[in-house]
Amino acid sequence: MPRPCELGRASERPDMMPENKRPEGGADKLKVLLVGGGGREHALAWKIAQSPKLAKLYCAPGNAGIAKHAECVNVSSDDLDGLLKFAVDNKIDLTVVGPELPLVAGIYDKFHARGLKVFGPSAKMAMLEGSKSFSKDVMNRFGVPTAAYEVFTHAKEAMHYAVETEMPVVIKADGLAAGKGVVMCDTSEQAVAALSGIMEKKVFGAAGDKVVIEQKLEGEELSILVLTDGETILPLASARDHKRAYEHDRGPNTGGMGAYSPSAQFDEASIGTIIDKTVRPIIDGLRKEGTPYRGVLYAGLMMTKDGPYVLEYNCRFGDPETEVILPRLKTDLLPVMMEIAGGKLRHRSLQWHEKSCITVVMASGGYPGACQKGFPIRGLPAAEAVPDVVVFHAGTAFNEKKEVVTAGGRVLAVTALGDSLRAACETAYQAIHQIHFEGGFFRRDIGRRAIEVLK
C-alpha cells in the first residue's frame, strides 16, 4: 500500500494535511500507472499516493524515492508497447504521463485505441512541445504574443538569413532535444556556427532538420501551468524556475536548478490576465478546430515591457516546477486528472495552501554535461527529519547493498514549505546541508532575488 503524505513533521499539522483523509474500502478506487522516473514524477507520486481515491499506484520506471509511494516496474518511459502491455495486464484505470517523449510518441493515442484513459494530450497536440515551428504557427494563428520568427529547412538559407538579420537572435532546433536545443546568439558568427552544428552536424539528430530563428526577448521569465480538458482551464499556482547551472544565473542552461512558488512579482489577478493572453486563445482555438488540448499545458513566458510573450509551450508538468506547486495544492489531484482524461472537467477551482514553497536541486558533478553515477547519498534521513521538508528524488537508484545512490544529472529536489518565501528558503537550505554525495553541488541563491523583491 503506498504511504500517505510525509512532509516532515508538518504532515501532522492540520493545515498541512490533504483535504480528504484516506478512507477505508470503496469500489470506485483507481489503479494508476505513473510514467517517468524523475523529481517531477516523485512529486506526482507523492501527491497521488495521498488520494483517498487511489487503490494502487505503479510507476514505470520510478526511482528510489518514488518506491516509497508506488510499486516501481521495470519498463522504460519510452517503451510504449511495454507500457501498454503492463496497463492492459494490470487493468490500469488511469495512466499519468510525466515526460514529453512518450506523449510526443503517441502514448495517448495508443492507449486510447485500447480504451485506456491517459492524463496527457494526444500526439498531435503534444506537438506544441514536440515541434517549435508547429507551436509558433499555433500561437500566430490564435493571436498569442510571441517573438517574431522564421522557419528554415535548408542550412544555407538559414545561414544567409542569420547574416542579414538584426542580432541578437535565438536559434531553436525544431524537435525535442532534451532541453538543449536552444542557442542564444549575439553575433551572426555565433548564429552561423549554431546553425552549422544543428543543421549540418546534426548535434541534436533529426530534431535539427528544421530550425526556428527568432528575435531575442528581454525580461523576467515566468512559468504558467494550467490543467485543462480543452475547455475549462484550472490554473496551477505560479512558479519560477532557475535554469542556469550556477549562482547569479551564470553557466550553462539546465533542466532547472531550483524553483519557488508563488511568484513574488505576480498576484492571482495578474496571472489570470496573463493566462487570458497566452493560454486561453490556444485552448479555445484548438477546441474549435476539433482537436482539444487535454492535460497540463505549461507556458514558458518572457514578461517583457510590452507584456507577456510565449517562449514555448510544454505538454507536461515542469521539472522542478511540479516539486514546488504540488506541495501547495490542497485539492486531491487524482479525480481532477481522471476527469480530464475522461474529457470533462467538473472541478471549477483548485484549493491552495497559503504557504510558500521552494525547491533546491542537488546535482551530480559535471551536470548538465556528462556525470558519473553510482555514488552513495548520505544524510537523507537527517534532511527528511527537518520540519516542513520533503526530499523528492530526481535521479536515484538502489545499489546491490540497497543503499540509495546517484543515478542521473539532477539527483534530488530538496523542497520546503514555509510561512514566507524566506522561511521556506532557510528550511530548504538547512535540509540540503545534511546531504552529501561525491561531486554533488547546488545553487545557493534559489529564490534570493524574489526575497529581495518582497523586502
Give the residues lining the site for ligand AMP (CB under 6 A). 147, 170, 172, 182, 214, 216-217, 221, 243, 300, 302, 311-312
Decide which of ligand GLY, ligand AMP, none touches 216; Cβ closer than 5 to 8 Å per partner kind.
ligand AMP
What grid cell was written down for 226? Answer: 494550467
Residue 110 binding: pick among ligand AMP, ligand GLY, none (C-beta 5-8 Å cut-off by kind): none
Distance in angstroms (rounded) separating the CA atoms of residues 224 and 72? 30
Partner in contact with 328, chosen from ligand AMP, ligand GLY, none, beta carbon below 5 to 8 Å by kind: none
Question: Which residue is associated with the grid cell 483535504?
Answer: 19
User: Could you tell which of ligand GLY, ligand AMP, none binds residue 314, using a CB distance below 5 to 8 A set by kind?
Assistant: ligand GLY
Least Å distance, CB 240 to ligand AMP, is 11
219: region left, alpha or beta (phi > 0 left; psi from -120 to 50 alpha):
left
Q: Are 410 and 431 in contact, with CB atoms under 8 Å apart?
A: no
221 binds, among ligand AMP, ligand GLY, none (CB under 5 to 8 A by kind): ligand AMP
What residue number has its CB nearest to ligand AMP?
312
Closer Cβ to ligand AMP, 302 or 404, answer by number: 302
Q: Between the CA of residue 266 and those of 145, 223, 262, 289, what are the distances in Å?
A: 19, 11, 8, 32
Q: How far apart are CA 209 and CA 133, in angstroms?
A: 12
Contact residues toward ligand GLY (CB under 6 A) are: 241, 255-256, 314, 318-319, 321
Q: Are 324 and 239 in contact (CB under 8 A)?
A: yes
Please name the residue ranges forming H helices in 351-403: 380-384
Contacted entry of ligand AMP, ligand GLY, none for residue 311, CB cut-off 5 to 8 Å set by kind: ligand AMP
CB of 318 to ligand GLY, least distance (A): 4
Min CB(226)–ligand AMP separation in Å: 17
CB neighbours of residue 138 within 10 Å? 23
Longest dimension (CA), the chain: 68
**DSSP 8-class letter at 200:** I
* 35 vs 302, beta carbon nearer ligand AMP: 302
For the bound state, the minimum distance from the C-beta of residue 67 to ligand AMP, rounded and expressed in Å, comes to: 31
Q: Residue 101 binds which one of ligand AMP, ligand GLY, none, with CB within 5 to 8 A depending on kind?
A: none
Identify the CA nearest to 51 among candidates 5, 110, 101, 14. Answer: 5
- The smaller minimum CB distance to ligand GLY, of residues 279 and 380, is found at 279
Q: Of 252 and 272, which CB lies nearer to ligand AMP in the complex structure?
A: 252
- Between residues 170 and 432, which has the closer beta carbon with respect to ligand AMP? 170
Q: How far is the CB of 322 from ligand AMP (least distance, A)?
A: 16
Give me the least distance between CB of 364 and ligand AMP, in Å please: 22
| Closer residue to ligand AMP in complex, CB, 93/319 | 319
Across 258-290, b (16+ Cβ under 10 Å) vs e yields bbbbbbbebeeeebeebbebbbbbbbebbbeee
Least gap, CB of 182 to ligand AMP (angstroms): 4
Q: How far is the CB of 215 from ligand GLY (least distance, A)?
A: 21
User: Which of ligand AMP, ligand GLY, none is residue 319 near (CB under 5 to 8 Å by kind)?
Assistant: ligand GLY
Degrees, nearest 5: CA angle 252-253-254? 115
The beta strand positions in 162-284, using DSSP E, are 169-173, 182-185, 211-215, 220-228, 233-235, 240-241, 244-246, 250-253, 258-261
Q: Which is nearer to ligand GLY, 165 or 265 (CB)?
A: 265
CB of 214 to ligand AMP, least distance (A): 5
Q: Residue 214 binds what, of ligand GLY, ligand AMP, none (CB under 5 to 8 Å, by partner type)?
A: ligand AMP
Residues 6+ apart with CB under 8 A from 330: 18, 19, 350, 351, 352, 353
Distance (Å, whole) CA 393 – CA 362:
10
Nearer to ligand GLY among residue 321 and residue 388 (C-beta): 321
Q: Which is nearer to ligand AMP, 321 or 388 (CB)?
A: 321
Q: Give the CA distances from residue 232 to residues 117, 123, 138, 308, in Å, rounded to whole numbers and listed in that order.
A: 19, 21, 19, 21
Closer Cβ to ligand GLY, 110 or 242, answer by number: 242
**Nearest distance, CB of residue 271 and ligand GLY, angstroms:** 18
Comparison of 93 and 321: residue with beta carbon closer to ligand GLY: 321
Answer for the pair 223, 243: CB distance below 8 angstroms, yes or no.
Answer: no
Q: Name which of ligand GLY, ligand AMP, none residue 323 binds, using a CB cut-off of 5 to 8 Å depending on partner kind.
A: none
Q: How far is the CB of 54 from ligand GLY (least distance, A)?
A: 25
Question: Measured between alpha carbons, how far is 132 from 342 in angstroms, rounded to an integer?
Answer: 28
C-alpha cell, 376: 552513495
CA distance 446 to 247: 8
Residue 321 touches which member of ligand AMP, ligand GLY, none, C-beta under 5-8 Å by kind: ligand GLY
